[in-house]
Homo-oligomer: A and B are copies of this chain.
Amino acid sequence: MSEKPLTIHIAAKEAGISIETIRYYQRIGLIEKPEKPLSGYRVYSEDLIARLLFIQRAKELGFSLTEISTLLALGDGNCAEIKELATHKLAIVNNKLHDLQAIANTLENLIQACEFNSSHQGCPIITAILKR
């Protein structure tokens, strides 16, 4: 046979993750373990690799592994629930955006204050944090 069997390290390469991460996903039940043949190594299907890629992309959208597990369980046939999950996630992301924006604004102001602080007496940032 010259076709490489789809063993775990090939699967890992195709999915762009490490072998250990695949095993971790198996441990937490996010993906199935392929059947272990009587002799030899477990062989990974294209479907399983698609699932791994799905997981990566869903992670990029901010979903946790637990949420991804739900997404995968719901699958293609439960659009309303999926949409609900996405909407909830969007709300959380928007909240985080709001908080981070406030932080960025404050930091910018503090950094500005430092620039105007030609007197080398104390640091406006420290002062501000002390008594905000």
Contact = CB atoms under 8 A, between A and B. Distances in A.
A1 B32 CA distance: 67
B86 A110 contact: yes
Given A97-B97, A100-B97, A77 B122 contact: yes
Nearest to A127: B76
Nearest to A53: B130
A100 B103 contact: no
A129 interface: yes
A114 B79 contact: yes
Nearest to A97: B100
A22 interface: no
A75 interface: yes
Interface stretch (A2-10, A12-20, A37-45, A87-95): A87-95
A123 B61 contact: no
Contact of A82 (B54, B86, B115, B125): B125
Contacts of A100: 62, 93, 96-97, 100
